[in-house]
């Protein structure tokens, strides 16, 4: 199966987002976020990477699961970032968080059509 440019772009964005959360597991006290948020972000990053691998391998039965893992983990990750916009932190942190949220949502939007394509392919078989 040939992957579309949009799907590859979405997978790369989601993989980078997932990878960016993993260092918070190594040192949960890093940055201005509470420790629990850092741990949750790290776990969600690992879940995202599992979803990316499932979609990249493109076995019709696993694509839907992979896309669901990516979408749910990334939306939850974005939800953990929302309180930062109301916290008293430097503007640079807020700008970086906003950019991360936009790129994360873009990555999810680019991957979601793969779930439908896999379902249609499975139904046709």
Token couple for 43: 């776990």
Cβ-count burial of 11 within 10 angstroms (0-12 exposed, 13-18 middle, 19+ buried)? buried
Q: How many domains would you assign to the chain?
A: 1
Q: What is the pLDDT of residue 71?
A: 96
Give pLDDT tens digits for 34-77: 899 999 999 999 999 999 999 998 766 678 899 999 999 999 99
Q: Which residue has the higher pLDDT, 29 or 23?
A: 23
Contacts of the segment 24-30: beta carbons below 8 A, 24+ positions apart: none
Domain coverage including residue 18: 5-124
Is the Cα dihedral 68, 51, 19, 2 positive or negative? Answer: negative
pLDDT band at 125 (very low <50, low <70, confident <90, very high): low
User: By three-state DSSP, how is residue 121 classified?
Assistant: helix
> pLDDT tens digit string along 100-117?
999 999 999 999 998 877
By C-alpha distance, which of 74, 93, 76 is closest to 85? 93
Report the predicted TM-score, pTM, of the whole model to 2 decimal places: 0.87
């Amino acid at each position: 199966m040939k992957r579309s440019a949009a799907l590859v772009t979405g997978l790369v964005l989601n993989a980078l987002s997932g990878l960016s959360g993993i260092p918070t597991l190594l040192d949960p006290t890093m940055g201005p976020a509470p420790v629990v948020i850092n741990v949750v972000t790290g776990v969600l990053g690992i879940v995202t990477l599992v979803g990316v691998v499932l979609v990249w391998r493109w076995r019709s039965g696993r694509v839907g699961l992979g896309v669901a893992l990516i979408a749910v983990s990334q939306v939850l990750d974005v939800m953990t970032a929302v309180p930062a916009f109301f916290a008293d932190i430097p503007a640079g942190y807020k700008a970086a968080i906003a950019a991360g949220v936009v790129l994360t949502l873009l990555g999810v939007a680019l991957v979601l059509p793969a779930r439908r394509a896999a379902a249609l392919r499975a139904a046709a078989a």
